[in-house]
Structure formats: C-alpha cells, structure tokens
Structure 1
Amino acid sequence: MKLRTTEITLAGMFVALMAIGANITSIVPFMVIGGVPITLQTFFAILAGVVLGSRLGAISMMVYVLVGLVGVPVFAQFTGGFASIIKPTFGFIVSFIFTAFATGYLTEKMKKTTGVFVFASLAGMAINYAFGTNWMYFAYKIWASAPEGFTYKLAWLWMVVPLPKDIILAVLAGLMGLRLERTLLSRSQFKNLRTAN
C-alpha cells in the first residue's frame, strides 16, 4: 500500500491533532467543566474519517495508536507505552480506528448533505462509545480491579456524563467536515484524496 506525500502529511497532521485532543485540558485548563475533562479525541477521529475518507482516516488512527504504544506520550495525561493495553479505557483508543473508518465510509457512499454528514458523525461516535464501553466492562471483569458493585449498567451510566459534549462535538465535526468538503477538499489538489480510498 503506497501513500502519496499529501496523504502522509494529512495523516500525520491528524496524529498530532489526536495527541493535542487527548491532552487539551493540560493546555487549556478551563476545558474541565464540573470535574469532567472535555477531550477532543472523538471529535478529531470523526473529522479524520470525514476529511481523509475511510481508508486514510483509519490509517491515521492506526498510526496514532501505534505511536502511543511504542512509548510516545500521545495518550491522555501524556501517557504512552505498551502497558496502555491493559488499561480499561484502552478500548476507546482502539475504537478511534473504527470510528474514522465508519464515518469516512458513510460520507463516501451517501449524498454530500448536512444530514448525511451529521448522521455519519453520530454513527462514528456511537461506535466509539459501544466499543470503548464494552472493552472497559470486560477489562474490569477479567483483568482489572473492578470497583465494588461494578455492573454492565454502571459502565454505561459512567458514559452519561461525557455524552452531551460528545454529541455536540460529533455534530460540529460533521458540519466542519461538510464545510471542508465543499471548499478545501473540492480543490484539484485534494479532490482525488477521498476517491482513492
């Protein structure tokens, strides 16, 4: 699989954006609201799919995961390393690959409308939640020390807190992606980027 220079550059840009999004509260402390950090990883994973398409979007997220696993501190709280795999929340990191792919796939195959882009973005967010939450549940049940009284229902209740901000950010990612589709991505140097996926 050979990537063009433009594709490598854009994929690298999204790896950097994911690292920033994971640690945005360290850069901008006021983005902690009610004790809940507003990270931008899901936003950028969705945007990667919308902008780069299914193939390159997924590749950029794979590179992000691999960069973190080899020890570069690109995960939340500036962490990294192979030991991240055993953390209960690692499933959310893995899910970014599927989030970007699904979002990109839907926007490639359907009409370029506001509704489609928002729907695709929300679908990507749903994949992020489903994969990450189920991974977290099984991680706590199989190898991590689960909190007392931990249940499958409780795992999902934990996700209620970040859900509103992720819905808002997913919609914004879809709208931003559509805007880019109609402006930057419509230019000659970018028009074949998504069709090559």
Structure 2
Amino acid sequence: MTTRDIVLAALFTAIIIVLGFIPPVPIPLLPVPITAQSMGVMLAGCIIGAKRGAAAYALLVVLVAVGLPVLSGGRGGLNVLMGPTGGYIFGWIMGAFVTGFLAEKLVREGQSAAKQMAGFFVASVVGGIGVVYLCGMPWLSLVAGTPFDKVVLGSLAFIPGDLVKAAIATLAARAVLVGYPLLAARA
C-alpha cells in the first residue's frame, strides 16, 4: 500500500467513526441495533475500493479491540467484539472488500450514469448486506444461543433499512466518481 492508500483508509476510518455518532436504533427483542456505521462498508468499498475499504475497517476493529469507544453508542473493547454483534463487526472488513471488488469490476468511467449506479447498488447489496449478514448471523446464533432460523427471521427486520443505506451509498459513490475521477485509480 502506498502512502496515499494508507491516508485514504485512515480517512475512511474517521468517517466510519463519525457515522457512529448517529445514535443506534434498537429493535425490540433483538440484540443488534440499526447503526449508520454499517453504511460505511458500502461507502468505503464503493468509493476507495476493495483493499483500502477493508483496511479502513480493519483499522476500526483494531481501535475497538484496544478499547476505544468508536462504535455506535460509544462502545468499544474486546467484550463488544466477542459479544452478539462481533460477527457483524468482523464481517464489515470482508463486506468492504467484496463491495469494493464488485464496484471495481462493475463500474467504469464512460458508462452511463444508470449503469454506474446499478453497479454501485449491486456491489453495496452483495458486499454490504449479503457478506456482512453471512458473517454476523452465525456468530449471533452461536453467542446468543438463538437458533439460526430465528436469527435469519430476526434479520429480515434490517433489510429495508439496509437497502436505504445501499441507495445512499450508491448516490454518494456516483457523486464522488463524477466529482473526483482520479480516485478511481484504486489500490
């Protein structure tokens, strides 16, 4: 990674932390709240690419592990990483990578705006929702002692909000692509 890559990853880690200032929205009977930080997976992957996006989230996980209160609601520490939401938090790293990888493959300069937005949206849904859920749901089931089918059913409550986050990330990524095309030279 170049110095530019490291700076962009660190900048996105800061953006992700700022997204954590938006208070989490608890869902009754579920141990996982709705947070804006999960939208950062989509933003990081689509805007700075697979490697930098994953690095931004890896740095965030390190900050959480050392106890800094950088997660939504001012949470941090190993107890958070080992708790019910830990699988989702670790899944953010892989989710950002997959989102970025797909965005890099699906979105090109010179495509129509509709194709670019469709590419960003697909990347956001697959990486930012699908991959994160695939990492988080088994962990939640194991740690909370909840049957996996009930975890899957409970996760359905998050899908509408996550699709809105994917739409916001799509609009932001498209705006950055148009306004700062040199950023497309991803690591």
TM-score normalized by the length of structure 1: 0.80
> How far apart are 1:162 and its partner, in Å?
2.0
Among 116, 119, 122, the residue aligned to 1:116:
119
Percent identity over the alignment? 29
Structure 1's consecutive aligned runs of 4 or more residues displaced over 6 angstroms after TM superposition are: 33-36
| Alignment gaps of 5+ in structure 1 | 27-31, 141-145
Instruction: Report the counterpart of residue 113 of structure 2 in structure 1.
Output: none
Q: Contact conserved, 2:13 with 2:56, CA < 8 A, in 1? A: yes
1:3 maps to 2
Number of residue equivalences:
176
**SS of alignment partner, residue 78 of structure 1:** coil
- The structural deviation recorded for 1:103 is 0.8
Q: 1:91: Cα distance to partner?
A: 0.6
Indicate if the aligned counterparts of 2:61 and 2:90 stay in contact, CA closer than 8 A: yes
- Structural mapping, 1:1-197, within 5 Å: 2-4=1-3, 6-25=4-23, 32=25, 38-112=34-108, 113-124=116-127, 125-140=129-144, 146=145, 150-184=146-180, 186-187=181-182, 190-192=183-185, 194=186, 197=187
Cα RMSD (Å) of the superposition?
2.1
Shift in Å, 1:139? 2.0
Mapped to 2, the partners of 1:71 and 1:64 lie a distance apart of 11
What TM-score, normalized to structure 2? Answer: 0.84
> Considering only CA atoms, is the larger Rg found in Structure 1 or Structure 2?
1
**Residue by residue, what CA displacement relative to the aligned partner does 1:28-78 show, whole Å, maximum 9, x if unpaired?**
xxxx48769542112111110111111111111100000110111112321
Whether the 8 Å CA contact 1:70–1:81 is kept in 2: the answer is: yes
Instruction: Tell me: CA distance 1:90–1:37, structure 2 relative to 1, closer, same or farther (3 Å).
Output: closer
Q: Which moved more, 1:109-118 or 1:57-66?
A: 109-118
- Partner SS for 1:25: coil
User: d(CA) in 1 for partners of 2:33 and 2:58?
Assistant: 24
Change beyond 3 A, Cα 1:23–1:155: farther
CA contact (8 A) 1:120 1:174 kept: no
